[in-house]
Chains A and B, each alone.
Chain A
Protein backbone atom coordinates (compact mmCIF):
# COMPACT_ATOMS: atom_id res chain seq x y z
CA UNK A 1 0.00 0.00 0.00
CA UNK A 2 2.84 2.35 0.84
CA UNK A 3 4.36 3.73 -2.33
CA UNK A 4 7.72 5.40 -2.63
CA UNK A 5 5.88 8.70 -2.73
CA UNK A 6 3.84 8.17 0.42
CA UNK A 7 6.98 6.97 2.20
CA UNK A 8 8.83 10.18 1.58
CA UNK A 9 5.79 12.15 2.75
CA UNK A 10 5.73 10.00 5.86
CA UNK A 11 9.38 10.74 6.52
CA UNK A 12 8.69 14.44 6.11
CA UNK A 13 5.87 14.23 8.63
CA UNK A 14 8.08 12.60 11.28
CA UNK A 15 10.92 15.07 10.73
CA UNK A 16 9.81 18.02 12.93
CA UNK A 17 9.22 15.90 16.04
CA UNK A 18 12.44 13.95 15.50
CA UNK A 19 14.60 16.99 14.90
CA UNK A 20 13.19 18.81 17.94
CA UNK A 21 13.73 15.86 20.26
CA UNK A 22 17.18 15.21 18.82
CA UNK A 23 18.15 18.82 19.52
CA UNK A 24 16.58 18.72 22.98
CA UNK A 25 18.61 15.62 23.78
CA UNK A 26 21.97 16.29 22.10
CA UNK A 27 22.57 19.99 22.77
CA UNK A 28 22.19 20.04 26.57
CA UNK A 29 23.75 16.60 26.91
CA UNK A 30 26.85 17.66 25.01
CA UNK A 31 27.07 20.80 27.13
CA UNK A 32 26.75 18.83 30.37
CA UNK A 33 29.50 16.47 29.22
CA UNK A 34 31.67 19.44 28.21
CA UNK A 35 31.24 21.23 31.56
CA UNK A 36 31.82 18.04 33.51
CA UNK A 37 35.44 17.98 32.35
CA UNK A 38 36.05 21.62 33.27
CA UNK A 39 36.63 23.61 36.38
CA UNK A 40 33.83 26.06 35.80
CA UNK A 41 32.68 28.56 38.43
CA UNK A 42 30.52 31.27 36.78
CA UNK A 43 30.62 33.55 39.84
CA UNK A 44 34.24 32.95 40.83
CA UNK A 45 36.43 33.25 37.76
CA UNK A 46 34.35 31.43 35.14
CA UNK A 47 36.07 28.84 32.98
CA UNK A 48 39.28 27.75 34.74
CA UNK A 49 40.34 25.11 32.23
CA UNK A 50 40.18 21.37 31.66
CA UNK A 51 40.52 19.09 34.64
CA UNK A 52 39.97 15.63 33.16
CA UNK A 53 37.99 13.31 35.41
CA UNK A 54 38.66 15.43 38.47
CA UNK A 55 35.00 16.48 38.86
CA UNK A 56 33.80 12.89 38.59
CA UNK A 57 36.19 11.80 41.34
CA UNK A 58 35.45 14.79 43.55
CA UNK A 59 31.68 14.36 43.21
CA UNK A 60 31.86 10.75 44.42
CA UNK A 61 34.43 11.36 47.14
CA UNK A 62 32.63 14.38 48.63
CA UNK A 63 31.18 13.78 52.08
CA UNK A 64 27.64 14.45 50.87
CA UNK A 65 27.65 11.92 48.04
CA UNK A 66 27.05 8.61 49.82
CA UNK A 67 24.46 10.06 52.24
CA UNK A 68 22.62 11.45 49.19
CA UNK A 69 22.71 8.03 47.51
CA UNK A 70 21.39 6.46 50.72
CA UNK A 71 18.60 9.05 51.03
CA UNK A 72 17.62 8.54 47.40
CA UNK A 73 17.46 4.76 47.81
CA UNK A 74 15.45 4.98 51.05
CA UNK A 75 12.94 7.40 49.54
CA UNK A 76 12.52 5.50 46.27
CA UNK A 77 12.41 2.11 48.03
CA UNK A 78 10.05 3.31 50.75
CA UNK A 79 7.57 4.92 48.39
CA UNK A 80 7.67 1.92 46.04
CA UNK A 81 7.02 -0.57 48.84
CA UNK A 82 4.12 1.44 50.27
CA UNK A 83 2.45 2.34 47.00
CA UNK A 84 2.72 -1.15 45.49
CA UNK A 85 1.47 -2.99 48.59
CA UNK A 86 -1.34 -0.55 49.39
CA UNK A 87 -2.03 -0.20 45.68
CA UNK A 88 -2.67 -3.94 45.32
CA UNK A 89 -4.90 -3.93 48.42
CA UNK A 90 -6.85 -0.90 47.21
CA UNK A 91 -7.21 -2.22 43.68
CA UNK A 92 -8.58 -5.52 45.04
CA UNK A 93 -11.01 -3.60 47.26
CA UNK A 94 -12.21 -1.28 44.51
CA UNK A 95 -12.72 -4.24 42.20
CA UNK A 96 -15.30 -5.74 44.59
CA UNK A 97 -18.95 -4.99 44.00
CA UNK A 98 -19.83 -1.93 46.09
CA UNK A 99 -22.14 1.05 46.11
CA UNK A 100 -20.75 4.27 44.72
CA UNK A 101 -17.72 2.66 43.06
CA UNK A 102 -17.21 5.57 40.68
CA UNK A 103 -17.33 8.12 43.49
CA UNK A 104 -14.84 6.22 45.66
CA UNK A 105 -12.50 5.92 42.71
CA UNK A 106 -12.63 9.68 42.24
CA UNK A 107 -11.70 10.22 45.91
CA UNK A 108 -8.82 7.76 45.69
CA UNK A 109 -7.16 9.14 42.56
CA UNK A 110 -7.53 12.82 43.51
CA UNK A 111 -4.06 13.27 45.11
CA UNK A 112 -2.35 12.49 41.82
CA UNK A 113 -3.67 15.72 40.33
CA UNK A 114 -2.46 17.97 43.14
CA UNK A 115 0.60 19.94 42.02
CA UNK A 116 3.80 18.94 43.88
CA UNK A 117 4.34 22.34 45.50
CA UNK A 118 0.79 22.43 46.89
CA UNK A 119 1.04 18.90 48.18
CA UNK A 120 4.41 19.57 49.84
CA UNK A 121 3.29 22.81 51.49
CA UNK A 122 -0.11 21.55 52.60
CA UNK A 123 1.42 18.52 54.30
CA UNK A 124 4.23 20.57 55.79
CA UNK A 125 2.02 23.31 57.25
CA UNK A 126 -1.53 22.13 57.68
CA UNK A 127 -0.69 18.60 58.79
CA UNK A 128 2.91 18.22 59.98
CA UNK A 129 3.47 21.59 61.62
CA UNK A 130 4.38 20.84 65.26
CA UNK A 131 2.33 23.80 66.61
CA UNK A 132 -0.74 24.36 64.44
CA UNK A 133 -0.80 21.27 62.26
CA UNK A 134 -3.65 18.78 62.21
CA UNK A 135 -1.46 16.02 63.64
CA UNK A 136 -0.21 18.29 66.43
CA UNK A 137 -3.83 18.99 67.46
CA UNK A 138 -4.61 15.29 67.25
CA UNK A 139 -1.56 14.30 69.34
CA UNK A 140 -2.43 16.92 71.97
CA UNK A 141 -6.02 15.72 72.11
CA UNK A 142 -4.63 12.36 73.26
CA UNK A 143 -2.28 14.06 75.71
CA UNK A 144 0.84 13.29 73.65
CA UNK A 145 3.67 15.62 72.76
CA UNK A 146 3.37 16.69 69.05
CA UNK A 147 6.09 15.32 66.79
CA UNK A 148 8.41 17.60 64.80
CA UNK A 149 7.69 15.58 61.69
CA UNK A 150 9.88 17.19 59.06
CA UNK A 151 12.91 17.71 61.29
CA UNK A 152 12.88 14.70 63.62
CA UNK A 153 11.28 12.15 61.29
CA UNK A 154 12.16 13.81 58.00
CA UNK A 155 12.55 10.76 55.77
CA UNK A 156 9.41 8.91 56.91
CA UNK A 157 7.47 12.18 56.57
CA UNK A 158 8.71 12.75 53.02
CA UNK A 159 8.00 9.13 52.13
CA UNK A 160 4.47 9.58 53.48
CA UNK A 161 3.87 12.72 51.41
CA UNK A 162 5.23 11.10 48.25
CA UNK A 163 3.30 7.90 48.84
CA UNK A 164 0.09 9.91 49.16
CA UNK A 165 0.85 11.44 45.77
CA UNK A 166 1.76 8.20 44.01
CA UNK A 167 -0.67 5.71 45.56
CA UNK A 168 -3.43 6.79 43.13
CA UNK A 169 -1.20 6.06 40.14
CA UNK A 170 -0.32 2.57 41.39
CA UNK A 171 -3.94 1.83 42.34
CA UNK A 172 -5.34 2.98 39.02
CA UNK A 173 -2.91 0.91 36.95
CA UNK A 174 -3.29 -2.20 39.11
CA UNK A 175 -7.07 -1.80 39.06
CA UNK A 176 -7.01 -1.58 35.27
CA UNK A 177 -4.94 -4.75 35.18
CA UNK A 178 -7.24 -6.63 37.60
CA UNK A 179 -10.28 -5.69 35.57
CA UNK A 180 -8.76 -7.25 32.48
CA UNK A 181 -8.53 -10.58 34.31
CA UNK A 182 -10.61 -13.36 32.86
CA UNK A 183 -13.59 -13.91 35.19
CA UNK A 184 -14.13 -17.48 34.06
CA UNK A 185 -10.77 -18.56 35.31
CA UNK A 186 -11.53 -17.16 38.76
CA UNK A 187 -14.98 -18.72 38.80
CA UNK A 188 -13.56 -22.08 37.83
CA UNK A 189 -11.05 -21.82 40.67
CA UNK A 190 -13.84 -20.86 43.04
CA UNK A 191 -15.92 -23.85 42.00
CA UNK A 192 -12.95 -26.12 42.51
CA UNK A 193 -12.95 -24.86 46.09
CA UNK A 194 -9.88 -22.63 45.95
CA UNK A 195 -9.88 -20.29 48.96
CA UNK A 196 -9.58 -16.51 48.38
CA UNK A 197 -5.97 -16.49 49.55
CA UNK A 198 -5.03 -19.23 47.11
CA UNK A 199 -6.93 -17.53 44.31
CA UNK A 200 -4.96 -14.38 45.03
CA UNK A 201 -1.54 -16.08 45.04
CA UNK A 202 -2.08 -18.38 42.09
CA UNK A 203 -4.31 -16.42 39.74
CA UNK A 204 -4.52 -12.71 40.56
CA UNK A 205 -0.92 -12.01 41.56
CA UNK A 206 0.68 -13.72 38.53
CA UNK A 207 -1.73 -11.81 36.32
CA UNK A 208 -0.66 -8.56 37.99
CA UNK A 209 3.08 -9.23 37.71
CA UNK A 210 3.48 -7.22 34.54
CA UNK A 211 1.45 -4.26 35.78
CA UNK A 212 3.44 -4.25 39.04
CA UNK A 213 6.69 -4.19 37.07
CA UNK A 214 5.45 -1.27 35.01
CA UNK A 215 4.37 0.63 38.15
CA UNK A 216 7.75 0.02 39.80
CA UNK A 217 9.76 1.13 36.77
CA UNK A 218 7.75 4.23 35.94
CA UNK A 219 7.58 5.37 39.55
CA UNK A 220 11.32 4.77 39.95
CA UNK A 221 12.06 7.06 37.02
CA UNK A 222 9.80 9.79 38.44
CA UNK A 223 10.92 9.32 42.05
CA UNK A 224 14.61 9.46 41.18
CA UNK A 225 14.06 13.02 40.04
CA UNK A 226 11.62 14.36 42.65
CA UNK A 227 12.47 17.93 43.43
CA UNK A 228 9.61 20.29 44.32
CA UNK A 229 8.44 18.27 47.35
CA UNK A 230 11.88 18.57 48.94
CA UNK A 231 12.38 22.16 47.78
CA UNK A 232 9.29 23.44 49.65
CA UNK A 233 9.44 21.21 52.74
CA UNK A 234 13.00 20.76 54.01
CA UNK A 235 15.09 22.33 51.22
CA UNK A 236 17.45 19.40 51.58
CA UNK A 237 18.01 19.79 55.34
CA UNK A 238 17.57 17.07 57.99
CA UNK A 239 19.08 14.33 55.85
CA UNK A 240 16.65 14.70 52.94
CA UNK A 241 19.21 15.62 50.33
CA UNK A 242 18.72 13.27 47.40
CA UNK A 243 21.09 12.89 44.47
CA UNK A 244 18.88 15.17 42.38
CA UNK A 245 18.79 17.80 45.11
CA UNK A 246 22.55 17.60 45.65
CA UNK A 247 23.19 18.23 41.96
CA UNK A 248 20.69 21.12 41.98
CA UNK A 249 22.56 22.69 44.90
CA UNK A 250 25.97 22.24 43.27
CA UNK A 251 24.80 23.75 39.99
CA UNK A 252 22.48 26.61 40.95
CA UNK A 253 23.12 27.37 44.62
CA UNK A 254 26.90 27.09 44.87
CA UNK A 255 27.37 27.60 41.11
CA UNK A 256 30.00 24.90 40.83
CA UNK A 257 28.96 23.91 37.34
CA UNK A 258 31.77 21.47 36.57
CA UNK A 259 31.13 19.44 39.71
CA UNK A 260 27.36 19.57 39.27
CA UNK A 261 27.62 18.49 35.65
CA UNK A 262 29.68 15.45 36.62
CA UNK A 263 26.89 14.64 39.11
CA UNK A 264 24.38 15.13 36.31
CA UNK A 265 26.18 12.57 34.18
CA UNK A 266 25.93 10.08 37.06
CA UNK A 267 22.21 10.80 37.36
CA UNK A 268 21.73 10.24 33.64
CA UNK A 269 23.55 6.90 33.78
CA UNK A 270 21.48 5.81 36.79
CA UNK A 271 18.18 6.74 35.10
CA UNK A 272 19.24 4.92 31.95
CA UNK A 273 19.83 1.69 33.83
CA UNK A 274 16.21 1.77 35.04
CA UNK A 275 14.96 2.95 31.66
CA UNK A 276 16.46 -0.04 29.81
CA UNK A 277 14.22 -2.42 31.76
CA UNK A 278 11.12 -0.30 31.22
CA UNK A 279 11.80 0.06 27.51
CA UNK A 280 12.14 -3.69 27.14
CA UNK A 281 8.61 -4.23 28.51
CA UNK A 282 7.11 -1.41 26.48
CA UNK A 283 8.88 -2.66 23.37
CA UNK A 284 7.51 -6.16 23.78
CA UNK A 285 4.02 -4.73 23.86
CA UNK A 286 4.64 -2.81 20.66
CA UNK A 287 5.16 -6.01 18.68
CA UNK A 288 1.65 -7.27 19.39
Chain B
Protein backbone atom coordinates (compact mmCIF):
# COMPACT_ATOMS: atom_id res chain seq x y z
CA UNK B 1 0.00 0.00 0.00
CA UNK B 2 2.72 2.38 -0.99
CA UNK B 3 1.43 5.90 -1.34
CA UNK B 4 3.03 9.10 -2.49
CA UNK B 5 4.43 11.09 0.41
CA UNK B 6 6.68 14.09 0.75
CA UNK B 7 10.43 13.59 0.67
CA UNK B 8 10.68 14.95 4.18
CA UNK B 9 8.34 12.27 5.47
CA UNK B 10 10.22 9.63 3.55
CA UNK B 11 13.51 10.81 5.04
CA UNK B 12 12.12 10.59 8.58
CA UNK B 13 10.72 7.11 7.90
CA UNK B 14 14.04 6.02 6.48
CA UNK B 15 16.04 7.28 9.44
CA UNK B 16 13.69 5.69 11.97
CA UNK B 17 13.48 2.35 10.15
CA UNK B 18 17.25 2.09 9.78
CA UNK B 19 17.76 2.97 13.43
CA UNK B 20 15.34 0.24 14.55
CA UNK B 21 16.81 -2.22 12.07
CA UNK B 22 20.34 -1.63 13.32
CA UNK B 23 19.32 -1.97 16.97
CA UNK B 24 17.67 -5.32 16.23
CA UNK B 25 20.62 -6.48 14.17
CA UNK B 26 23.19 -5.19 16.66
CA UNK B 27 23.79 -8.42 18.66
CA UNK B 28 24.70 -10.24 15.45
CA UNK B 29 26.88 -7.35 14.30
CA UNK B 30 28.60 -7.31 17.67
CA UNK B 31 29.56 -11.00 17.62
CA UNK B 32 30.91 -10.51 14.11
CA UNK B 33 33.14 -7.73 15.52
CA UNK B 34 34.19 -9.81 18.57
CA UNK B 35 35.02 -12.80 16.38
CA UNK B 36 37.83 -10.76 14.78
CA UNK B 37 39.42 -9.81 18.13
CA UNK B 38 41.84 -11.52 20.51
CA UNK B 39 40.35 -13.06 23.68
CA UNK B 40 42.01 -10.36 25.78
CA UNK B 41 40.54 -7.53 23.70
CA UNK B 42 37.08 -9.09 23.39
CA UNK B 43 36.20 -8.47 27.06
CA UNK B 44 37.24 -4.80 27.11
CA UNK B 45 34.83 -1.86 26.87
CA UNK B 46 33.02 -1.53 23.52
CA UNK B 47 35.10 1.50 22.48
CA UNK B 48 38.36 -0.26 23.31
CA UNK B 49 37.12 -3.31 21.43
CA UNK B 50 36.55 -1.25 18.30
CA UNK B 51 39.96 0.38 18.61
CA UNK B 52 41.92 -2.84 19.12
CA UNK B 53 43.65 -4.86 16.39
CA UNK B 54 41.63 -7.03 14.05
CA UNK B 55 42.72 -10.63 13.72
CA UNK B 56 41.61 -13.97 12.31
CA UNK B 57 43.10 -15.73 15.34
CA UNK B 58 39.83 -17.02 16.75
CA UNK B 59 38.76 -18.49 13.43
CA UNK B 60 42.13 -20.24 13.23
CA UNK B 61 41.72 -21.61 16.76
CA UNK B 62 38.24 -22.87 15.99
CA UNK B 63 39.54 -24.40 12.73
CA UNK B 64 42.40 -26.10 14.53
CA UNK B 65 39.97 -27.94 16.66
CA UNK B 66 38.97 -30.45 14.05
CA UNK B 67 35.91 -31.28 16.10
CA UNK B 68 34.31 -28.00 15.05
CA UNK B 69 34.17 -29.27 11.50
CA UNK B 70 32.93 -32.61 12.65
CA UNK B 71 29.97 -30.82 14.23
CA UNK B 72 29.51 -28.59 11.21
CA UNK B 73 29.42 -31.70 9.00
CA UNK B 74 26.93 -33.28 11.39
CA UNK B 75 24.69 -30.23 11.04
CA UNK B 76 24.88 -30.35 7.25
CA UNK B 77 24.13 -34.08 7.10
CA UNK B 78 21.30 -33.93 9.61
CA UNK B 79 19.64 -30.83 8.14
CA UNK B 80 19.94 -31.92 4.50
CA UNK B 81 19.29 -35.60 5.18
CA UNK B 82 16.12 -35.06 7.19
CA UNK B 83 14.77 -32.51 4.70
CA UNK B 84 15.44 -34.56 1.57
CA UNK B 85 14.04 -37.70 3.16
CA UNK B 86 10.97 -35.72 4.23
CA UNK B 87 10.47 -34.31 0.74
CA UNK B 88 10.79 -37.79 -0.73
CA UNK B 89 7.96 -39.03 1.47
CA UNK B 90 5.88 -35.86 1.21
CA UNK B 91 5.90 -35.19 -2.54
CA UNK B 92 3.68 -38.17 -3.48
CA UNK B 93 1.32 -37.44 -0.59
CA UNK B 94 1.00 -33.71 -1.30
CA UNK B 95 0.74 -34.45 -5.01
CA UNK B 96 -2.17 -36.81 -4.76
CA UNK B 97 -3.99 -34.61 -2.24
CA UNK B 98 -3.62 -31.60 -4.52
CA UNK B 99 -4.58 -33.29 -7.79
CA UNK B 100 -6.86 -36.13 -6.74
CA UNK B 101 -8.60 -34.62 -3.70
CA UNK B 102 -11.08 -36.85 -1.93
CA UNK B 103 -13.51 -36.38 0.92
CA UNK B 104 -10.78 -37.33 3.34
CA UNK B 105 -8.07 -34.95 2.06
CA UNK B 106 -9.04 -32.13 4.40
CA UNK B 107 -9.18 -34.45 7.39
CA UNK B 108 -5.79 -35.96 6.63
CA UNK B 109 -4.17 -32.54 6.21
CA UNK B 110 -5.59 -31.27 9.50
CA UNK B 111 -4.56 -34.43 11.31
CA UNK B 112 -1.01 -34.15 9.97
CA UNK B 113 -0.88 -30.58 11.20
CA UNK B 114 -2.09 -31.69 14.63
CA UNK B 115 0.87 -34.06 15.00
CA UNK B 116 3.13 -30.99 14.71
CA UNK B 117 1.45 -29.55 17.82
CA UNK B 118 2.53 -32.46 19.99
CA UNK B 119 4.96 -31.00 22.55
CA UNK B 120 8.32 -32.74 22.25
CA UNK B 121 8.83 -32.94 26.00
CA UNK B 122 5.67 -35.05 26.29
CA UNK B 123 7.31 -37.87 24.37
CA UNK B 124 10.91 -37.26 25.44
CA UNK B 125 11.36 -40.41 27.48
CA UNK B 126 9.76 -42.85 25.02
CA UNK B 127 11.95 -41.54 22.20
CA UNK B 128 14.99 -41.59 24.46
CA UNK B 129 14.24 -45.20 25.44
CA UNK B 130 13.60 -46.28 21.84
CA UNK B 131 16.89 -44.68 20.84
CA UNK B 132 18.74 -46.64 23.52
CA UNK B 133 17.02 -49.89 22.56
CA UNK B 134 17.71 -49.38 18.86
CA UNK B 135 21.28 -48.17 19.43
CA UNK B 136 20.44 -44.80 17.88
CA UNK B 137 21.49 -42.57 20.78
CA UNK B 138 24.18 -40.11 19.63
CA UNK B 139 23.86 -41.20 16.00
CA UNK B 140 23.21 -39.05 12.95
CA UNK B 141 20.80 -41.62 11.55
CA UNK B 142 18.55 -41.30 14.59
CA UNK B 143 18.44 -37.52 14.35
CA UNK B 144 17.80 -37.56 10.60
CA UNK B 145 14.74 -39.73 11.24
CA UNK B 146 13.41 -37.70 14.18
CA UNK B 147 13.88 -34.33 12.48
CA UNK B 148 12.33 -35.70 9.31
CA UNK B 149 9.27 -36.76 11.32
CA UNK B 150 8.85 -33.48 13.20
CA UNK B 151 9.11 -31.45 9.98
CA UNK B 152 7.08 -33.79 7.79
CA UNK B 153 3.75 -32.04 8.49
CA UNK B 154 5.23 -28.67 7.44
CA UNK B 155 6.77 -30.20 4.32
CA UNK B 156 3.50 -31.85 3.26
CA UNK B 157 1.56 -28.66 3.89
CA UNK B 158 3.94 -26.39 2.02
CA UNK B 159 4.11 -28.72 -0.96
CA UNK B 160 0.33 -29.08 -0.95
CA UNK B 161 -0.21 -25.31 -1.08
CA UNK B 162 2.33 -24.97 -3.90
CA UNK B 163 0.92 -27.88 -5.92
CA UNK B 164 -2.60 -26.57 -5.56
CA UNK B 165 -1.54 -23.39 -7.34
CA UNK B 166 -0.66 -25.36 -10.47
CA UNK B 167 -3.69 -24.81 -12.70
CA UNK B 168 -5.59 -27.98 -13.55
CA UNK B 169 -6.36 -26.64 -17.06
CA UNK B 170 -2.74 -27.22 -18.03
CA UNK B 171 -3.14 -30.90 -17.23
CA UNK B 172 -6.30 -31.11 -19.29
CA UNK B 173 -4.62 -29.38 -22.20
CA UNK B 174 -1.73 -31.83 -22.06
CA UNK B 175 -4.18 -34.73 -22.01
CA UNK B 176 -6.06 -33.38 -25.01
CA UNK B 177 -2.78 -33.30 -26.87
CA UNK B 178 -2.49 -37.00 -26.12
CA UNK B 179 0.20 -36.88 -23.45
CA UNK B 180 0.57 -40.06 -21.44
CA UNK B 181 0.49 -39.99 -17.66
CA UNK B 182 4.24 -40.38 -17.58
CA UNK B 183 5.02 -37.52 -19.96
CA UNK B 184 2.36 -35.46 -18.20
CA UNK B 185 4.28 -35.90 -14.99
CA UNK B 186 7.72 -35.45 -16.50
CA UNK B 187 7.27 -32.57 -18.91
CA UNK B 188 4.26 -30.66 -17.66
CA UNK B 189 3.94 -30.93 -13.92
CA UNK B 190 7.50 -31.40 -12.70
CA UNK B 191 8.87 -28.15 -14.15
CA UNK B 192 5.97 -26.27 -12.57
CA UNK B 193 6.45 -27.98 -9.23
CA UNK B 194 10.20 -27.48 -8.89
CA UNK B 195 10.13 -23.90 -7.54
CA UNK B 196 7.71 -24.96 -4.79
CA UNK B 197 9.81 -27.99 -3.90
CA UNK B 198 12.95 -25.85 -3.78
CA UNK B 199 11.29 -23.32 -1.46
CA UNK B 200 10.10 -26.11 0.78
CA UNK B 201 13.59 -27.59 0.99
CA UNK B 202 15.07 -24.18 1.77
CA UNK B 203 12.77 -23.45 4.72
CA UNK B 204 13.02 -26.93 6.16
CA UNK B 205 16.81 -27.02 6.03
CA UNK B 206 16.73 -23.83 8.09
CA UNK B 207 14.28 -25.32 10.61
CA UNK B 208 16.27 -28.54 10.92
CA UNK B 209 19.60 -26.68 11.23
CA UNK B 210 18.28 -24.67 14.17
CA UNK B 211 16.32 -27.43 15.92
CA UNK B 212 17.50 -27.48 19.53
CA UNK B 213 15.40 -29.86 21.59
CA UNK B 214 16.05 -33.27 20.11
CA UNK B 215 19.58 -32.38 19.02
CA UNK B 216 20.45 -31.41 22.61
CA UNK B 217 18.77 -34.39 24.25
CA UNK B 218 19.66 -37.20 21.87
CA UNK B 219 23.33 -36.52 21.08
CA UNK B 220 26.62 -36.49 22.94
CA UNK B 221 30.13 -35.98 21.56
CA UNK B 222 29.85 -38.00 18.36
CA UNK B 223 26.75 -36.96 16.45
CA UNK B 224 26.23 -33.51 18.00
CA UNK B 225 25.37 -30.87 15.41
CA UNK B 226 26.33 -27.21 15.95
CA UNK B 227 23.33 -26.46 18.17
CA UNK B 228 24.58 -28.99 20.71
CA UNK B 229 28.28 -28.21 20.20
CA UNK B 230 27.72 -24.52 20.93
CA UNK B 231 25.70 -25.39 24.04
CA UNK B 232 28.95 -26.75 25.50
CA UNK B 233 30.06 -23.11 25.85
CA UNK B 234 27.48 -22.67 28.61
CA UNK B 235 30.06 -23.83 31.17
CA UNK B 236 33.36 -22.70 29.65
CA UNK B 237 36.80 -22.39 31.15
CA UNK B 238 38.89 -19.23 30.81
CA UNK B 239 38.34 -16.50 28.25
CA UNK B 240 36.08 -17.56 25.43
CA UNK B 241 34.19 -14.55 23.97
CA UNK B 242 36.19 -14.41 20.74
CA UNK B 243 36.10 -18.18 20.24
CA UNK B 244 32.36 -18.38 20.99
CA UNK B 245 31.79 -15.46 18.59
CA UNK B 246 33.77 -17.08 15.79
CA UNK B 247 32.05 -20.43 16.29
CA UNK B 248 28.65 -18.71 16.40
CA UNK B 249 29.27 -16.62 13.29
CA UNK B 250 30.25 -19.70 11.33
CA UNK B 251 27.22 -21.57 12.65
CA UNK B 252 24.62 -18.92 11.80
CA UNK B 253 25.99 -17.38 8.58
CA UNK B 254 24.97 -20.10 6.11
CA UNK B 255 21.46 -20.13 7.53
CA UNK B 256 21.23 -16.33 7.74
CA UNK B 257 22.01 -16.07 4.05
CA UNK B 258 19.53 -18.82 3.16
CA UNK B 259 17.00 -17.22 5.45
CA UNK B 260 17.15 -13.90 3.65
CA UNK B 261 16.17 -15.68 0.47
CA UNK B 262 13.31 -17.50 2.15
CA UNK B 263 11.30 -14.61 3.62
CA UNK B 264 8.19 -15.36 1.56
CA UNK B 265 8.33 -19.10 2.13
CA UNK B 266 8.74 -18.47 5.84
CA UNK B 267 5.32 -16.84 6.07
CA UNK B 268 3.67 -19.54 3.98
CA UNK B 269 5.44 -22.44 5.67
CA UNK B 270 4.98 -21.40 9.27
CA UNK B 271 1.40 -20.16 9.05
CA UNK B 272 0.21 -23.17 7.02
CA UNK B 273 -1.22 -20.84 4.42
CA UNK B 274 -3.36 -18.94 6.94
CA UNK B 275 -1.64 -15.64 6.08
CA UNK B 276 -0.80 -14.79 2.51
Contact = CB atoms under 8 A, between A and B. Distances in A.
Contacts of B95: 13
A73 interface: no
A9 interface: yes
Interface in B206-244: 206, 209-210, 212-213, 216-217, 226-228, 230-231, 233-234, 240-241, 244
Contact of B212 (A117, A123, A281): A117
A248 interface: yes
Contacts of B121: 225, 227, 244, 247-248, 251, 264, 267
Contact of B96 (A13, A29, A232, A275): A13
Contacts of B93: 13-14, 16-18
Contacts, number: 318
Interface string A143-183: 00000000000000000000010011100110011111111
B97 A14 contact: yes
A43 interface: no
B245 interface: yes
Contact of B3 (A7, A183, A260, A268): A183
A14 B21 CA distance: 44
Interface string A259-275: 01100110110111011
A228 B228 CA distance: 9
A122 B216 CA distance: 18
A112 to B, nearest CB: 7
Interface string A109-150: 111111111111111111100001010011011000000000
Given A18-B108, A98-B13, A252-B217, A172 B266 contact: yes
Contact of A110 (B24, B100, B213, B266): B24
Given A115-B209, A117-B230, A268-B118, A252 B10 contact: no
Interface string B36-77: 000000010110000000000000000000000000000000
Contacts of A90: 20
A228 B216 contact: yes
Contact of A123 (B27, B109, B263, B267): B27
A49 interface: no
B195 interface: no
The SS class assigned to the A binding surface is helix
B234 A232 contact: yes
A283 B122 contact: no
A97 B13 contact: yes
B152 A114 contact: no
Given A25-B115, A98-B10, A264-B124, A125 B45 contact: no
Contact of B271 (A107, A108, A173): A173
A188 to B, nearest CB: 12
Given A21-B115, A97-B2, A267-B119, 18 more contacts: A2-B100, A13-B96, A14-B96, A17-B93, A17-B152, A20-B152, A95-B2, A96-B5, A108-B20, A114-B252, A115-B255, A116-B212, A126-B245, A172-B263, A176-B267, A214-B274, A228-B216, A268-B122
Interface of A: 2, 6-7, 9-11, 13-14, 16-18, 20-21, 24-25, 27-29, 31-32, 35, 90, 93-101, 103-127, 132, 134, 137-138, 140-141, 164, 167-169, 172-173, 176-183, 186-187, 210-211, 214, 218, 221, 224-225, 227-228, 231-233, 235, 244, 247-248, 251-252, 257, 260-261, 264-265, 267-268, 270-272, 274-275, 278-279, 281-283, 285-287
16 contacts: A13-B96, A17-B92, A25-B118, A115-B209, A123-B27, A126-B31, A176-B267, A178-B1, A214-B274, A221-B117, A225-B120, A231-B231, A248-B121, A252-B128, A257-B125, A275-B114
Which are the 9 A-B pairs with shortest beta-carbon distances? A228-B212, A28-B123, A31-B126, A107-B21, A113-B259, A13-B92, A10-B96, A264-B122, A275-B117
